[in-house]
A and B are shown apart, each in its own frame.
Chain A
Amino acid sequence: MTLSKRIIPCLDVAAGRVVKGVNFKNLVDAGDPVELAKIYGDAGADELTFLDISASVEDRSTTLEMVSRTAEQVFIPLTVGGGIREVADVDRLLRAGADKVGVNTAAIARPQLINEIADRFGNQVLVLSVDARRGATESGFEVTTHGGRTGTGIDAFTWIADATARGIGEILLNSMDADGTRAGYDVEMIRQVREITHVPLIASGGAGKLADFSEALDAGADALLAASVFHFQTFTIGEVKADLARHGYSVRL
């Protein structure tokens, strides 16, 4: 046996609540992140990711309580992304019970933030979230912010190489071209990014059918993040893992 390929459900949260796109039957409270985290943990999720889309500082403090409540009941790794601007934000999240943090916009604005977090907590705590789309940069892929709405003009591959050198544990590669299409992960981008970084690669954006998952692994992904296909019960995590096993991939069953 070898290292298993990871399946990671992602929940959008704000002010301590799951805010959109979840449609489970028989839920007491569809907005309770703890309840959903437990369901996914029991269903075989290898990790969980919360993306905090809170609009205000007050709402973010509620997120800390939510992270804490989740970590009290779910004993698999928890990553929290969104709104991290400085080392103190990371410290607060880790103390609340997060195991890793996702950093995106703030690191683009001030790359030294990566060094600061890695020096204090180690590379392994830091997931660099890259929202990339096809654009007129050197590699043909451009970094975006604000959920893909704002181009930065920064070349995605140059940024990934720079961040890897500064000290990151993983890359969460979100394809803004594939996101929401359910037409499959962006295997071309995954394949190219796999060649320029030595850290584990989590593919995100575009999962729609069962075959999409193994194709992203074929392209070089180490882990697969998905939201709506799990939230709307298109597939269970077990079904995805069974299909990956059929394709010869090691999964934790």
Chain B
Amino acid sequence: MIAILDYGSGNLRSAQRAFALTGHETMVTSDPDLCLASDGLIVPGVGAYGACMEQLIAAGGREIIAARIASEKPIMGICVGAQILFSAGTEKGGHVGLGVFAGEVSLINAPILPHIGWNNVHSEPSSILFQGLQDESFYFVHSFAAKNAVADATNSWCTYGEDFLSAVERGPVSAVQFHPEKSGAVGARLISNWAGTL
């Protein structure tokens, strides 16, 4: 069973439907026991960084994520759910993140923002998420991103105005800046690749 962390942020049903399409049953929940017991945990997130962090903390999500990482159980953060895994975010003032990955999430240096639409992801051959998906396009909707490689991780990149991290894989933790659940067939393949590790 895969749990989708319900902390009041994100289009949870989109993620649930996309997993269902790939044959994976999911449960939308904020129950700590269920979130800890699940084979995989999805951390969604839309909206502002600080608001997401506040909601996550209020729902007990920080402890859930920490406990899963401590016991090496897989997590995948999506969009702002990926961003809050970093140390800090600069959106609407400064906000402290979960600090799972060192690095700051800051405004993309591009003339037209948000970065909305399908863009190519450049991944390394060692990536599990992007097996069979080298240089495919995924759907992005965001203005902020992490821009420095995470140490000892498989980093994947995207370019819009400048290079930024489109995905990070390190141990049990995966983070994707784009929306696999809205990225058609390639998104479904990525979801399957992740679910295949559980």
Contacts and interface: CB of A to CB of B under 8 A. Distances in A.
Interface in B113-168: 113-120, 135, 137, 139-143, 159-160
A253 to B, nearest CB: 9
The secondary-structure label for the interface of chain A is: loop
Interface string B171-188: 000000001011111011
Interface string A89-125: 0000011010100000000000000000000111111
A170 B182 contact: no
Nearest to B111: A198
The secondary-structure label for the interface of chain B is: mixed
B13 interface: yes
Given A71-B13, A71-B17, A222 B118 contact: no
Contacts of B179: 77
Interface in A110-156: 120-125
Contact of A124 (B21, B116, B181, B182): B116
A76 interface: yes
A67 to B, nearest CB: 11
B11 A94 contact: yes
A252 B118 CA distance: 7
A220 B32 CA distance: 48
Interface residues of A, number: 31
A6 B117 contact: yes
A21 interface: no
Contacts of B185: 75
B188 A75 contact: yes
Residue of B47, B117, B159, B184 most packed against chain A (CB within 10 A): B117
Contacts of B18: 75
Contact of B135 (A1, A122, A123): A1
Contacts of A169: 114, 116, 141
Nearest to B20: A72
B14 interface: yes
Contact of A125 (B14, B46, B135, B188): B46
B48 A122 contact: yes
B112 interface: yes
Contact of A99 (B48, B182, B187): B182
Nearest to A96: B13
A118 B119 CA distance: 24
Contacts of A199: 112-114
Residue of A75, A97, A223 most packed against chain B (CB within 10 A): A75
B117 A46 contact: yes
Contact of A76 (B17, B120, B139, B140): B139
12 contacts: A1-B159, A71-B17, A76-B139, A76-B183, A77-B141, A97-B14, A97-B17, A99-B14, A122-B46, A124-B46, A170-B114, A252-B137
Given A99-B182, A122-B48, 13 more contacts: A1-B137, A3-B118, A3-B140, A46-B118, A71-B17, A75-B187, A97-B13, A99-B14, A121-B46, A124-B46, A124-B141, A124-B143, A169-B114
Q: 4 closest pairs, A vs B, by CB?
A: A122-B47, A1-B120, A252-B118, A4-B118
